[in-house]
Structure 1
Amino acid sequence: MRSGIVTWVGIILTLDDAVPSAADRFRRIGRIAGITAITASVAAAGVTAWAVRECHQFQLRRLELPLLPPGTLRGKREFRLLHISDLHMVPGQRAKQEWVASLDQLQPDLVVNTGDNLSDLKAVPATLRALGPLMRRPGLFVFGSNDYYAPTVVNPLSYVVGKKRKASRVELPWRGMRAAFIEHGWQDATHRRLEFKVGSVRIAATGVDDPHHDLDDYGQVSGAPNAEADLRLALAHSPEPRVLAQFAADGYQLALCGHTHGGQICLPGGKTLVTNCGIDRVRAWGLHEFDGMMLHVSNGLGTSKFAPVRLFCRPSATLISLVEKPDLARE
């Protein structure tokens, strides 16, 4: 009997040792929480490093569009249009300057710049170094708010929820940059209707000031472009649907915009979370149709200097090869 009692006492003591005390449970929870926090911190640091690195992984996108009337090119295969946007240049960004300058090797027939070139008060010289070789070629431009006003530190949550940010009151030296563009032969399409010829291609183009901050006045350029033009181009910094609808209604073939950065922080596959404007997420970057007009939205070559990260959204420029439509009369 005594032996049985001793056995039961041993079992009870063993069970008591197996059940952790409240203090042990708290210590265990603390260890798990600590490990989880460290793991999360390491993962966050890794993602941040990756997102910062992505800002320097410049890409050239290539598209082909059959927009030109048969016979326009007179034997040439294509008319090369280089679309660049959202440089957001900061002094010292040498890799970006060199990469943009190297785009001249593509020998574009026309360069289109849809704004937000600057991200610093002292960035104009760096911007002109980057664009210098391209400014020897025919070009068009419109500006965005970050050509006129310096960027500011903002709450990143305001971007995530799609809250419109106010432009700062710190004016950038955009007038000198604009003068340099014009001196080198680029044409300012802001609230102007332009007609000119590049090689054998007759172009009718127009543009508006940045519609994201309501700087546009479409009434100044409204109306159908010259029907005899081979290529009818429309430019705006931000792809706001209300402006795109007016371009399309007037008969422009191709609208070129920037501003969205393609979402900047995206899901795998470049799936956009936020556009920072009125355009839908599906058309936040790349080539799409809008009311019968083709729309190309550049995901840009830079970011605000206060948010130098990109995720699943590498910076890019786009070379659009414009070719002739099929000659149905010959088929």
Structure 2
Amino acid sequence: MTARAHTPESQDELLEYRLSLRLGPVHARQRLGIEREAEARVFGPNYKSFHLENLTSAPGFIRFCLQLVGLFRRGQNNSRRLNTTSNHFHIPDLPESFEGYRILHLTDLHVDMDEANLQAVIDRISSLEYDLCVLTGDYRRLTWGPVDEALEGMAQLRDAIRGDAYAVLGNHDSIRMVPALEDMGYRLLMNEHVPIHLNGETIYLAGVDDAHFYKVHNLHRAGDDIPLGNISILLSHTPEIFREAAHAGYDIFLCGHTHGGQICLPGGIPVTLDSDCPRALGRGLWRMNGMQGYTSPGSGTSVINVRLNCPPEVTIHTLTRGPE
């Protein structure tokens, strides 16, 4: 008796069942349904956002313009030269055991965009010292279609990351990637939180699903059970929910999405941030209602693998009780 082959339909059913068990049936149905209906649209729901990456003519047009002015090759080389940026979060109430705790922050990797860029990220983090790694979304180049190449790249990256790695999804990522990413050793925080224990003391790490395109973030579900008065860090793909997060009481907010503009005018002035937030939140350290936030310009590129006046980075955040 021969075993029945797995058809695409049966594989989809198995995936949906696994996602329902992992995330709950409502979240799984909602995210999958929106992906099927709208993942490749140029305009977001209610036409409130514009997605250049979904315009099929955009990469060729931008490449032509940059080649015309002699900037394409320079921009491509720039995209493969990563900086290591150090940032300190000063938290007076930080548990003593977490003094000097280091968090490696990676975001907007788009690992199937450019093999040389992915290798540059792997090379860059290989010598870094850190206690925890967090990733804030956009692992895939496109916003629709197959996920296999992105998953292969994420597997290579996971081999290079030491210790625990917690992640959230971005607007480029399919929820279909969750089981495979977790099988690799990434822990996805899908409107969830986890305690981080050290020497009998605890801080909390929370994460929300994409708040930019899919609008499936849920800060209440992510943080309602975090004990009052404990230090909490929120991972979000985009800075757009900064007000909600600040009023929810998170101490630290880590995000990406903006690429810092990726193609900027001299002085690092972004042409666009593709994000509904103040420009002051488009890159680097910021504050809002007592919450400290950091928007990383990311390690990868979107639409076209070039960067101008906006170098890519990997970020090491250090937690400290000391004065600023």
- Calculate the TM-score normalised by the size of structure 2: 0.70
Aligned to 1:265: 263
Contact 1:64 1:320 in 2 (8 A): yes
Q: Is the alpha carbon distance of 1:92 and 1:210 closer, same or farther for their aligned partners in structure 2, counting shifts above 3 Å?
A: closer
Cα distance change on mapping 1:101 and 1:283 into 2, 3 Å: same
The answer as to whether partners of 1:101 and 1:129 remain within 8 angstroms in 2 is no
Shift of 1:283: 1.6
Deviations 1:129-148, CA, capped at 9 Å, x for gaps: 123231x4123210112121
Which residue of 271, 276, 298 maps to 2:296? 298
1:250 aligned partner: 248
Task: Map residues 77-116 of structure 1 onto 2, 5 A cutoff.
Answer: 78-90=100-112, 93-100=115-122, 102-116=124-138
Amino acid at match of 1:105: S
Letter in 1 for 2:97: L
Q: Which residue of 1 aligns with 2:217?
A: 216
| 2:166 alignment partner AA | L
State whether structure 2 residue 48 is matched by structure 1 residue 47.
no
Distance 1:101 1:180 in 2: 23
Amino acid at match of 1:82: L
Matched, 1:309 2:306: yes
Q: C-alpha separation between the residues in 1 aligned to 2:91 and 2:66?
A: 50
* Deviations 1:230-289 (CA, angstroms, capped at 9, x unpaired): x3101110111xx22222112211000110000111122222231111111122010111
* Corresponding residue SS for 2:91: strand
Match of 2:205 in 1: 205
Partner of 2:181: 178
- Rounded to whole Å, the distance in 2 between the matches of 1:320 and 1:198 is 17
Pair 1:223–1:101, CA change in 2 (3 A): same
Deviation at 1:173, TM superposition (A): 5.4
Q: 1:42 to 1:87 in 2, by over 3 A?
A: closer
Cα 1:260/1:91, change in 2 over 3 Å: closer
- 2 CA distance for matches of 1:200 and 1:93? 42
Summarize deviations over 1:76-112 as a string: whole Å, max 9, x none. Answer: x611111110000117614523533541422211111
Is the contact made by 1:118 and 1:127 (CA closer than 8 Å) also made in structure 2?
A: no
Note if contact 2:97-2:198 (Cα within 8 Å) is conserved in structure 1.
Answer: no
> Residues 139 and 290 from structure 1, CA distance in 2 versus in 1: closer, same or farther, beyond 3 angstroms?
same
Where do residues 152-191 of structure 1 align in structure 2 (5 Å cutoff)? 174-181=177-184, 184=185, 186-191=186-191
Is the CA contact 1:61–1:318 (under 8 Å) kept in the aligned structure 2?
yes
1:145 to 154, 171, 179: 171
Q: What code does the residue aligned with 1:93 have? A: E
What residue in structure 2 maps to residue 36 of structure 1?
none
Equivalent position amino acid for 2:168 in 1: V
Please tell me the residue identity of whatever aligns with 1:312.
N
Whether 2:61 is the aligned partner of 1:64: answer no
Number of residue pairs aligned between Structure 1 and Structure 2: 254
* Cα distance in 1 for residues equivalent to 2:72 and 2:166: 36
**What residue is the counterpart of 2:51 in the other structure?**
none
Q: Which amino acid in 2 is paired with 1:129?
A: Q
Is 1:321 the equivalent of 2:324? no
User: SS of the counterpart of 2:306?
Assistant: coil
Q: CA RMSD in A?
A: 2.7
| Secondary structure class of the residue paired with 1:211 | coil
Q: Distance in 2 between matches of 1:42 and 1:104?
A: 33
Q: Aligned with 2:72: secondary structure?
A: helix
Aligned letter for 1:125?
A: E
Deviation at 1:199?
5.1
Task: Write the distance in 2 (CA, Å) between the matches of 1:248 and 1:48.
Answer: 40
**Could you give the per-residue CA deviations for residues 190-235 of structure 1, whole angstroms, max 9, x where no partner exists?**
2113223145651212221111011223342354732353x31011
Change in Cα spacing, 1:315 to 1:91, as seen in structure 2 (3 Å) is closer
Equivalent residues in 2 for 1:2-81 (5 A)?
Answer: 44-67=68-91, 69=93, 72-73=96-97, 78-81=100-103
Amino acid at match of 2:112: V
